[in-house]
Amino acid sequence: MPRLDQFLASLGYGSRREVRSLIAAGRATVRGAPAADPGEKISDDDEVQVDGQPLDHPDGLLLMLHKPAGLVCSHDAREGPSVYDLLPPRWRRRHPPVTSIGRLDKETTGLLLLTDQTILVHRLTSPRHKVPKTYRAGLDREVTAAQAEEITAVFAGGTLVLDGEREPCKPAELRWRDPRSAELILHEGRYHQVRRMFASRGCTVVSLHRERFGPLELGGLSPGAWRELPMDFFSREDGAGPGDGKPAPAVHRGKQIHPRQP
Ligand code: URA
């Protein structure tokens, strides 16, 4: 059981010191009574409030974000504006931190999952968990029908070894939409994988968008907006998530970020 001050600090209510002064000011209640002891042990059943409000996501966060272009998936401020800048300040102060499940490149757009559940990050990024991810790639040039066929066969073959690697890529499905764009389904996630796979066939990816992650798709989410998912979304047997009869969780718009020009 965590201490009250530790618990509130982990949910982003401030540093341990800030949380202790919040408690000293009588702003926190436990089971309806003002909390006096910052070291009080809190159990799952205890109703804790701050400023008369229930706690902000005490059981964790799992979000589906439509990542806009120009933001990095990094907590290092030196890398520029990040997807985390879109989130409310309290969520950015949580411990463990809210982090992405896998990464998308700065210029890649589309479906990105964010969570503070370290176990879920490990589970869904582990090579053993072969969750399919669907990307739409735009190329710098048109390919001929014969080239398209060759590229499709190479990607499906499970023998393509990327520059600097030893292990071949797992078989991937490629569906051409037109001579310069295609949908690619990967069952793994390597560094710049889509761009490097096409580069191995002499094509440069000029636009990249992740359309699906496992059973999830963005639907009507606009760039910069996110939707909360139930914490047990990926433990459900059907993995169906929202759309199982429960109302869809609300959509939130992140604050406007103006990515720095390169
Ligand atoms: N593959 C890439 O090359 N980039 C991404 O952002 C994701 C997959």
Query: What CATH number is given to the structural domain containing 9?
Result: 3.10.290.10
pLDDT for residue 250? 64
pLDDT bin (cut points 50, 70, 90) of residue 241 is: very low
pLDDT for residue 130? 83
pLDDT for residue 255? 58
Q: In this structure, are 47 and 177 located in the same domain?
A: no
- Choose, from 46, 56, 85, 105, the residue flagged as catalytic: 105
Q: Does a structural domain hold residue 68?
A: yes
Number of domains in the chain: 3
Q: Are 96 and 11 in contact (CB under 8 A)?
A: no
Tens-place pLDDT, residues 94-105: 999 999 999 999
| pTM score, whole prediction | 0.90
Q: Does a structural domain hold residue 260?
A: no
Q: In this structure, are 18 and 117 located in the same domain?
A: no
CA neighbor of 105 nearest in space, from 144, 74, 133: 74
What is the C-alpha separation between 244 and 248, in angstroms, rounded? Answer: 9
SS3 80: coil
Instruction: Determine the structural domain holding residue 238 and report its residue range.
Output: 62-128+214-253
Q: Does a structural domain hold residue 46?
A: yes
Q: In this structure, are 207 and 222 located in the same domain?
A: no
Mean pLDDT value across the chain: 91
pLDDT bin (cut points 50, 70, 90) of residue 169 is: very high
- 145 contacts: CB under 8 Å, gap ≥ 6: none
Site to substitute for ligand 1 among 195, 205, 209, most atoms within 8 A of C-beta: 195
Q: In this structure, are 248 and 202 located in the same domain?
A: no
Tens-place pLDDT, residues 178-196: 999 999 999 999 999 999 9
Q: In this structure, are 218 and 205 located in the same domain?
A: no
Query: What CATH number is given to the structural domain containing 240?
Result: 3.30.70.580
Rounded average pLDDT over 42-65:
96
105 is annotated as an active-site residue: yes
Tens-place pLDDT, residues 187-225: 999 999 999 999 999 999 999 999 999 999 999 999 999
Phi first, then psi, for residue 149 (nearest 5°) are -65, -40
Q: In this structure, are 189 and 222 located in the same domain?
A: no
| 72 CA distance to ligand 1 middle (Å) | 12
Number of residues that this document lists for the chain: 262
Q: Does a structural domain hold residue 234?
A: yes
Tens-place pLDDT, residues 242-259: 434 344 556 676 655 554
Q: Please determine, for residue 175, whether its predicted confidence score (pLDDT) is greater than 60.
A: yes
Q: In this structure, are 140 and 206 located in the same domain?
A: yes
Q: Please determine, for residue 68, whether its predicted confidence score (pLDDT) is greater than 60.
A: yes
Query: What CATH number is given to the structural domain containing 165?
Result: 3.30.70.1560
Q: Please determine, for residue 230, whether its predicted confidence score (pLDDT) is greater than 60.
A: yes
Supply the DSSP string of 223-240, one letter for each residue.
Answer: TTEEEE--TTGGGSSS--
Q: Are 134 and 184 in contact (CB under 8 A)?
A: yes
SS3 140: coil
Rounded average pLDDT over 5-30:
97
Rounded average pLDDT over 127-154:
95
Bridge partners of 213, per DSSP, are 133, 216
Both tokens assigned to 143? 């390919």
Q: Please determine, for residue 27, whether its predicted confidence score (pLDDT) is greater than 70.
A: yes
| 189 CA distance to ligand 1 middle (Å) | 8
**Run of H or E residues at 146:** helix 145-157
Q: In this structure, are 142 and 79 located in the same domain?
A: no
What is the C-alpha separation between 221 and 254, in angstroms, rounded? Answer: 11
pLDDT for residue 253? 64
SS3 213: strand
Q: Are 109 and 98 in contact (CB under 8 A)?
A: no
Q: In this structure, are 80 and 21 located in the same domain?
A: no
Rounded average pLDDT over 89-96:
96
Q: Does a structural domain hold residue 14?
A: yes
| 96 CA distance to ligand 1 middle (Å) | 25
What is the C-alpha separation between 231 and 221, in angstroms, rounded? Answer: 19
Each as own residue / partner, the long-range contacts of residues 192-195 (CB below 8 Å, 24 or more positions apart, any chain) are: 192/105, 193/162, 193/169, 194/135, 194/137, 195/105
pLDDT for residue 246? 45
C-alpha distances (whole Å) from 185 to each of 60, 79, 170 are 29, 28, 11
pLDDT for residue 235? 85
Rounded average pLDDT over 156-179:
97
Q: Does a structural domain hold residue 259?
A: no
Q: In this structure, are 140 and 201 located in the same domain?
A: yes
Q: Please determine, for residue 262, whether its predicted confidence score (pLDDT) is greater than 70.
A: no
Q: In this structure, are 145 and 185 located in the same domain?
A: yes
Q: Which atom of ligand 1 is nearest to the CA of 205?
A: 3
Q: In this structure, are 169 and 137 located in the same domain?
A: yes
What is the percentage of the chain residues whose pLDDT exceeds 70? 90
**Residue pointed to by tokens 């341990």:** 16
Q: Does a structural domain hold residue 193?
A: yes
Q: Does a structural domain hold residue 258?
A: no
Q: Please determine, for residue 260, whether its predicted confidence score (pLDDT) is greater than 70.
A: no
